[in-house]
Amino acid sequence: MMAGSHIALGAAAWFVAGPRLDLPALDPALLGLSVLGALLPDIDHPKSWVGRRLRPLSTILAMFLGHRGITHSLVAVAGCIALLLWQDVPFGFAAPLVVGYLSHLIADLLTPGGLRLAWPLRRSFAFPLCRTGSPFEPLVVAVALSAAWGSAPAGLQWCGGYHLAGVEWLRLCDDGTMLPALRALLGGKTSLDQWWQLAQAR
């Protein structure tokens, strides 16, 4: 999927997973870490959002391992967890990174290309619903966001629905303001406190 979809799904994944891990779902730092985790697997693609910012590393990975190789596998997830444990990274910081990373893999499983989850084995797994960048991608993301809203703890649904509802996602995709709106949500011009106040006022 495209970077914008991974950003939204990474945030939605943390919105659902955070409270179940006894961590705040709407903490800007934790949301940001989940979004970062959701972008990291594409470090193996030099033209991806994260690949362009880490060009030397992404070029090397693409050259020797290819796109959707080890970084899109459960081997990478296990390696990330092992690295975080080895570095004694606090659970509150490690959890959103892993949640976001997993959200990326799940999202890419919904495309025809699938993933080699058991890398280096060549078997690919896929549940193809849409092609990356196709007009159907926003629809699939919208359904996922609506499901995330519906499965969130009841106390968060009102606020969560305000900025993660699938219909709103489709509107943002249509008028080209998707990424600016998500940047605002994650600490830009509109703070999460303001979103929370707006949600409570509705």
Q: Going from the first residue of the chain to its last (202 residues), give the mean pLDDT of each consecutive group of 10, the final group possibly shorter.
A: 88 89 87 92 91 89 87 94 92 94 95 91 89 81 78 53 46 50 49 46 40
Cα–Cα distance measured from residue 143 to residue 147, given in angstroms and rounded to the nearest whole number? 6
Q: Look at residue 173 in the predicted model and tell me its pLDDT.
A: 53
Q: How many domains does the chain have?
A: 1
Provide the pLDDT for residue 177.
47
Return left, alpha or beta for 68; rule: phi > 0 is left, psi -120 to 50 is alpha, else beta.
left
pLDDT of residue 167: 45
pLDDT, position 135: 76
What pLDDT, on a 0 to 100 scale, did the predictor assign at position 31?
Answer: 87
pLDDT of residue 166: 47
Query: Which pLDDT does position 120 carry in this prediction?
Result: 87
CA distance 20 to 79: 23
DSSP state of 130: -
Range list of β-strands (E), the chain: none
Range of the domain at 21: 3-201
Buried b (16+ CB within 10 A) or exposed e, 131-145: eeeeeebbbbbbebb
- Specify the pLDDT at position 63: 87
d(CA 103, CA 98): 9
The tokens for 106 are 């799940």
- Residue 63: partners with Cβ closer than 8 Å, 6 or more residues away: none
Structure tokens, 4: 């914008």
CB 101 within 8 A of CB 119: no
